Amino acid sequence: MFTIKKTVFFCLLLCFANKLVAVPAVVNPNLKTINISAGEWPPFLGESLPYQGVVAHLIRDIFAQAGIQVHFTFLPWGRAYHDTNNGKYDATAVWMHSKDRTNAYLFSNAVLSEQFVFFHLKKNDFDWRDLNDLRGLIIGGGLNYSYGPVFDQAIEKNTFELSRVSSTEQNFRRLSVGRIDIFAEEKNVGYYTLNNQHPELADTITHHPTAFLTNESFVLFPKNTEQSEQLLTTFNHYLLQFKQDGRYQAYFEGLQKGDYQLAK
């Protein structure tokens, strides 16, 4: 009987200890607010959007579970990255993975899954199966943007020409007048921009259903900041909870319903 009671006692003790480990605490208990830098990327992120975009809404609510309030500052992407690395912000959101970035930042678990597709004029019969099918085409793209290692290697090999400009709006205008043949963009971002910035073009442009890149994006925490590791652990813990109980998917269902559109 003693042995059974002893065993039960240690099992309960172990379960209690595991629960303590499972719920992380912020290093500084007085830390009630953190500042996160972000770039404009509607409908995922945007200073004037409802909740500042679906990703900002998600990140804010995840940290709220730990009793931490999040303030977002919207900056040009390069400045957001640089200033956060220099300690001005506690984190920056959201970024795709790259080896160079791992030298300066800790990466959260994946926050966002993106589908990059080729937009084209409906009147043009466009199809592709392999990047070699794009040979000879002029493809619109964004400045200082990577579309994945396979795509980037094809550019280096001159398989096709990537013509870069500073905005999605510019690329849709160029596509509409035939200055580029197709335009590489994340599907939700493309249609948000098309419907809100160029509604007059919406009936003339579509996308190819085959995604050329499925990409994940992450919250980055600077390695040179003392509290980053604990903030990362806290964020990942509650992000997993959101994914397991269905709350995570609800945000993106709301995105498809138009919850993060600017009011007309």
Q: Which residues contact 248 (CB under 8 A, 6 or more apart)?
A: 58, 239, 242
Do 210 and 131 lie in a common domain? Answer: yes
Q: Identify whether 91 is part of a domain.
A: yes
Do 70 and 146 lie in a common domain?
no
Residue 44 lies in a domain: yes
126 plus 49 within the same structural domain = no
* pLDDT tens-digit map of 184-209: 999 999 999 999 999 999 999 999 99
Q: If you average pLDDT over residues 207-229, what whole number do you get? A: 95
Are both 221 and 109 inside the same structural domain?
A: yes
- pLDDT, one tens digit per residue, over 3-23 is 444 444 444 444 444 444 455
* Tokens encoding 107: 């990466």
Same domain, 240 and 109: yes
Task: Give 146's pLDDT tier (boundaries 50, 70, 90).
Answer: confident
Average pLDDT of the residues of the chain: 89
**pLDDT tens per residue, range 70-91:** 999 999 999 999 999 999 999 9
In this prediction, residue 116 has a pLDDT band, given cuts at 50, 70 and 90, of very high
Query: Whole domain around residue 187: which residue ranges?
Result: 114-214
Q: What is the reported pTM?
A: 0.80
How many domains does the chain fold into? 2
CB contact burial 209-238 (16+ within 10 A = b; e otherwise): eeebbebebbbbbbeebebbebbbbbbbbb
Residue 124 sits in a domain whose CATH number is 3.40.190.10
Say yes or no: 109 and 222 in one domain: yes
109 and 126: one domain?
A: no
Structure tokens that stand for 24 in this block: 């992380």
Are the C-beta atoms of 175 and 119 separated by less than 8 Å? yes
Do 183 and 159 lie in a common domain? yes
* 181/236 same-domain check: no
Kindly tell me if the per-residue pLDDT of 24 is higher than 60: no
With H, G, I as helix, E, B as strand and everything else as coil, classify residue 135: coil
